[in-house]
């Protein structure tokens, strides 16, 4: 199990047996996006697909679990965790040319998030 930076329109999300209280991501858009750190299993990663919104539209720039509208992993996220610079931490994927694969947070990334004052970021 690894931890991933995910985006949501919700301040609080529950997943993997834990509740996460998000931080407002820094970005240029007008949407208020909250960022969360959530654990995902290998089975959950394999089940990720394009997010389907409440109107049934597929969003290929966002990966989510089936029937989950609460949070997603951005293929190329723009919302960055506040107070963490160089490199900025965003929800993102690798291997964009073939099949977007979510990039987990490293132990160093998690330490940087905790150092920024994020209260509910788990220890690696």
pLDDT tens readout for residues 17-61: 888 899 999 988 888 999 999 999 999 999 999 998 888 889 889
Element (H, E) at 80: strand 76-80
pLDDT tens digit sequence for 79-117: 999 888 778 899 999 988 888 999 999 999 998 888 887
pTM of the model: 0.89
What is the residue extent of each domain of the chain?
A: 2-108
Q: Are 65 and 41 in contact (CB under 8 A)?
A: no
Question: How many whole angstroms separate alpha carbon 59 and alpha carbon 52?
Answer: 6
What is the rounded CA–CA span in Å between residue 51 and residue 58? 6
């Amino acid at each position: 199990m690894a931890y991933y930076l995910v985006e949501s329109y919700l301040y609080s999300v529950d997943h993997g047996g834990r509740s996460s209280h998000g931080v407002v991501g820094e970005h240029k858009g007008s949407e208020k996006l909250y960022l969360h750190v959530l654990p995902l299993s290998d089975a959950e990663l394999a089940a990720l697909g394009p997010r389907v919104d409440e109107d049934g539209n597929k969003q290929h720039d966002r990966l989510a679990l089936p029937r989950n509208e609460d949070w997603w992993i951005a293929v190329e996220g723009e919302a960055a965790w506040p107070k963490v610079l160089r490199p900025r931490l965003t929800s993102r994927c690798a291997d964009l040319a073939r099949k977007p694969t979510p990039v987990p947070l490293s132990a160093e990334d998690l330490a940087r998030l905790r150092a920024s004052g994020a209260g509910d970021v788990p220890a690696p």
